[in-house]
Structure 1
Amino acid sequence: MRQRLTSRLGRRIAQPLAFASAAVVVLAACSTGGKADGDSGKAGGDGDNGAPAAIVVEPGDAKAKVPVSRKVTVRAQGGSLSSVEVSSPGPGALAGTWSKGKSLWTSTTPLAPGAIYTVTATGEASGGSALNKTASFTTEAATNTFVGEYYPDKGAKVGVAMPVSITFNKPIPDKAAIERKLKVAASPAVEGAWSWMKDRNGKDRIDYRPEKYWKPGTNVTLRMDLAGVNAGGGVYGTQQRVVNFTIGDAVTSTVDVKKKTMTVAKNGKTLRTLKVSTGKKGFETWNGTMVVLSKVPTIRMNSDTVGIFGPEAYDLGSVKWDVQLTPSGTYAHAAPWNEGKFGVINGSHGCIGMSTADAKWFYQQVHLGDPVTVVNSVDTVAVNNGYGDWNVDWESWKKASALH
């Protein structure tokens, strides 16, 4: 029986940043021999050609809010810079580049909307005295922002088929701009690629996977540097995330529709071959690889939720040991009402049914991200029906990257 997915695990959505106001002045060392707030340096001849030495920040302490299109520049007037840090509690630190001689630092990371930034810089005047600068400014609040709902969750241990998946709450016209700010690193290292698709709800989604399943024990890190990134049409990101997760044992299951069996293996060693009953004619179980999305010990299955009415309708209030494989409603579960059909007849409405004892055993073996591959059936599961990513060949997968 196919049931509608009502929830997904590991949901983490960033909230928009709080807005604040601040203020822009260019701070410089006083020419009378005194020191301005946050500054240190000599007047007069301490700089080149007798000019006052100073660190100048643009934008500095400002009354007007700063457009996110602005770059931050830090200049050593009559000297050189030693260090520059531009940071915000939400979006994090900005990256930047140095000029030759380190007299100028220019930001390369976009500013995030509605954020307060603090600039801290040190340097040395040409006459040898120390220069220091602290300044802060607030960026304009974006009128339109987006966030990405990502999986798996931070700290999770998942199966070898679990992709990194991000679904966005707003359309993403400039997919290349977003993809450039998404990074996945793995240890041990493995080649992987991003691929764009439309989720089942029509939202823009991007998944990352290796060419083949992850190796057990792999440590994976997702970096989302989306704060201040324009997704197109003035829709700005607000998220800065670092998400670490690990890959567990390789628990793989293969369902043969013709043989009516499911073979379960762990790290290459077969554990058991179970007798099953899959979808009958007109309700065939999806062919191809599906990935475990969730597990619940008991669930109600009502055919109304998946559009099955009339003579084929059903309403079962206590279905045991349910392993969800697709949002469209494919489960592997106990089906005691089909006793006598396991290994003999395919009699379900698309789910993988088995005895209660076998279903409980299977439930205990598998976890989020484990692959279940169906062979000798029809209608391969769609790439966006859960994680049908593995049904796309590698070359086609890479071509769906916005940076291909």
Structure 2
Amino acid sequence: MGRFTRAGAMLGALALVTSLALTGCGDDQKKAAEFVGGGAAPGTGAPAAAQGAETSAPAESLTVSPADGAKNKPVSTEISAKLPGGGTVSSVTLASADGKQIAGRMRLDGSSWVPSAPLKYGTEYTATVTGTGAGGEPRQGTSTFTTMAKPKSMISSGLYLFDDKTYGVGMPVVVEFHPGIPKKDRAAVQKRMFVKTDPPQPGAWHWVYNGTQAYYRAPEYWKPGTTLDVRIALAGMPLSNGRYGNVDRTATAKIGRSFVMKVDNNTKKMTVYQDGELVRTLPVSLGKKSTPSSSGTLVVMEKKEKTVFDTMDDPDPDNRYRTDIDFAQRLTWGGEYIHAAPWSEGVQGRQNVSHGCVNVSMAMGRWLFEQTKIGDPITIKGTERRVAPGNGWTAWSLSWSEFVKGSALPVPDGGSGPLL
């Protein structure tokens, strides 16, 4: 099993055309519409904004933010308002100087109105907010502000989710950042990471790798047939280190049938369940004691029908080899896979001889490869080590109570509800 290195994989993620680099065992932007975020508890505030609503002039004004005349505002700017004496906002409209209306939606807690796409750099906008005071009196306020020029110092980001793809029930929403998000900025960034699930399921974010990755998952595996609608709305967002988010990342994807694999080192067998029913039991060979397989719940990250495992640069001569591999399914960045291993068929089910991979027969390797999707989970138990956090998409290797501790925002019991 190869060393745990992720630099090449990180660059692939940031380009958003990820081709996960094989190191060996042993070694598509769409719409920005309505989104629901999983980072914080749902609010109970103003209703959703009515775009372009016509209103008569209110008797009293309210204060709009950004302030009238404000300049150099980030393109991630949200519109908010203060109503003297209390009250509720009923509508927000935002238009550029040429009269073009900007789509957006109110956060459920009523704290602000979020444009559905980044604003343009160096552009003037006028926001009009209408509401009702605590006594039922109409209120209105306007503000004209200008966004900043495009900054030079930006963070790169990546989203391991693509439009119109179907994933397994264990597929977390995985976001990467380079450089990582400073700890003091993670709560603000998390508020701009929106996930909508249909049917609705609560969830939470968890930060790993010094802020270079964040995972989003539900308390349990996604329900088969779920639609995930994701917007990582970071374009132009200012960070404390003087950098700004580079782009918004969006994706709408599907979750397929339930296909779950379980491996027990004690029996050296894999049991396979589809939609809750046992469909196959097969012998395996795991990592030998010097290069053990990682225990934990992992997910299939990549599939290669044919590839080459090359560990000739390993510092340990005993771990150097170059081998043709069939039906390889990546589980970790460090190089653990499920794959066909005809050379170990004689000991599969009885002895561990691999460099950390899950060895199966050629026939079972082909069968599994034909059944699985990216995001299908596999739980391995009873080996000599636990998977390291972030060595693969390890969101499910933590209990729910452990997982929510990695959120930068409070998570209520059972998971967070919608932000928008």
- What TM-score do you get using the length of structure 1 for normalisation? 0.71
Match of 2:42 in 1: none
2:371 counterpart residue number: 365
Contact 2:300 2:377 in 1 (8 A): yes
Q: Larger deviation: 145-154 or 342-351?
A: 145-154
Number of the residue aligned with 1:78 = none
Q: Distance in 1 between matches of 2:173 and 2:97?
A: 27
- Asked if the contact 1:10/1:151 (under 8 Å) is kept, the reply is no
Structure 2 distance, partners of 1:211, 1:223, is 21
2:229 paired with 1:229: no
C-alpha separation in 2, matches of 1:234 and 1:224: 20
Maintained 8 Å contact 1:177/1:230: no
| Among candidates 300, 314, 326, match of residue 321 of structure 2 | 314
Gaps of 5+ in 2: 18-27, 30-58, 60-66, 82-90, 131-141, 411-420
Q: Counterparts of 1:208 and 1:88 in 2: how far apart (Å)?
A: 38
Structure with higher RCO (Cα < 8 A, 6+ apart): 2
1:192 aligns with one of 162, 182, 203: 203
Give the structure 1 partner of residue 16 of structure 2: 12
- AA of the residue aligned to 1:342: Q
The answer to whether the 8 A contact 1:59-1:72 is kept is no
Residue of 168, 183, 190 corresponding to 1:179: 190
How far apart are residue 303 of structure 1 and its match? 2.3
| Paired residues of 1:86 and 1:94 also in contact (CA < 8 A) | no
Aligned partners of 1:334 and 1:359 also within 8 Å? yes
CA deviations 1:76-119 (Å, max 9, x no partner) are xxxxxx97323599xx656789xxxxxxxx98659868343454
Deviation of the 1:239 alpha carbon:
2.8
In structure 2, do the counterparts of structure 1 residues 340 and 180 end up closer, same or farther at CA, with 3 Å as the change threshold?
same
- Structure 1 segments of 4+ aligned residues over 6 angstroms from their partners: 69-74, 94-97, 120-123
Aligned positions of 1:192-231 closer than 5 A: 192-198=203-209, 204-231=212-239
Write the mapping of 1:143-162 to structure 2, written as runs, cut at 5 A: 143-162=152-171
Counterpart position of 1:51: none
Q: State the Cα distance separating 1:363 from its structure 2 match.
A: 0.7
3-state SS in 2 of match to 1:271: strand
SS at match of 1:152: coil
Distance 1:217 1:297 in 2: 26
1:159 is displaced (CA, Å) by 0.5
| 211 and 333 in structure 1: CA distance in 2 versus 1, 3 angstrom threshold | same
Post-superposition offset of 1:262: 1.1
Pair 1:281 & 2:289 matched: yes
What is the CA distance between 1:214 and its match in structure 2?
A: 0.6
Give 1:12's aligned amino acid.
L
Whole-angstrom CA distance in 2 between matches of 1:281 and 1:295: 26
Aligned equivalents of 1:276 and 1:154: distance in 2?
A: 35
Give yes or no for contact 1:283–1:350 (8 Å, CA) kept in 2. yes
Relative distance call for 1:120 and 1:376 in structure 2 (3 A) is: closer
SS of structure 1 residue aligned to 2:291: coil
Q: Aligned partner of 1:323: which letter? A: Q
The number of residues matched between the two structures is 330
2:407 matched to 1:401?
A: yes
Q: 3-state DSSP class of the match of 1:147?
A: strand
Deviation at 1:150, TM superposition (A): 0.8
Residues 1:310 and 1:247: Cα distance change in structure 2 (over 3 Å):
same
Distance change (3 Å), C-alpha of 1:364 and 1:113: same
2:93 equivalent to 1:84: yes
**Secondary structure of 1:264's partner?**
strand
- Contact 2:125–2:145, Cα closer than 8 Å, also in 1: yes
Distance in 2 of aligned mates of 1:250 and 1:218: 11
* The 10-residue stretch of structure 1 (335-344 or 307-316) with the greater mean CA deviation from structure 2: 307-316
Cα distance in 2 for partners of 1:275, 1:107 equals: 56
Measure, in 1, the Cα distance between the counterparts of 2:122 and 2:350: 64
Aligned partner (choices 301, 319, 343) of residue 349 of structure 2 = 343
- CA 1:122–1:245 in structure 2 vs 1: closer, same or farther (change >3 Å)? closer
In 2, Cα distance between equivalents of 1:138 and 1:148: 22
Counterpart check, 1:116 vs 2:123: yes
CA contact (8 A) 2:123 2:146 kept: yes
Give a deviation string over 1:373-400, Cα, whole Å, max 9, x none. 1122121112201111111121221121
Compared CA separation, residues 337 and 234, structure 1 to 2 (3 A): same
What is the identity, as a one-letter code, of the residue corresponding to 2:374?
L
How much has 1:267 moved relative to structure 2? 0.5
Shift of 1:71: 8.8
Q: Which residue pairs with 1:290 in the alignment? A: 298
SS of 1:340 mapped into structure 2: coil
Mapped contact 1:10–1:152 kept (Cα < 8 A): no
CA displacement at 1:162 relative to structure 2 = 0.6
Q: Which residue of 2 aligns with 1:356?
A: 362
- Relative to 1, partners in 2 of residues 1:9 and 1:226: Cα closer, same or farther, differing over 3 Å? closer
User: What's the TM-score once normalised by structure 2's chain length?
Assistant: 0.68
The worse-fitting range, judged by mean Cα deviation, of 136-145 and 278-287 is: 136-145
Range 366-375 or range 108-117, more displaced: 108-117
Question: Distance between the aligned counterparts of 2:208 and 2:186, measured in 1?
Answer: 11
- The 1:393–1:136 alpha-carbon spacing in structure 2 relative to 1, beyond 3 Å, is closer
Range moving further from structure 2, 158-167 or 111-120: 111-120
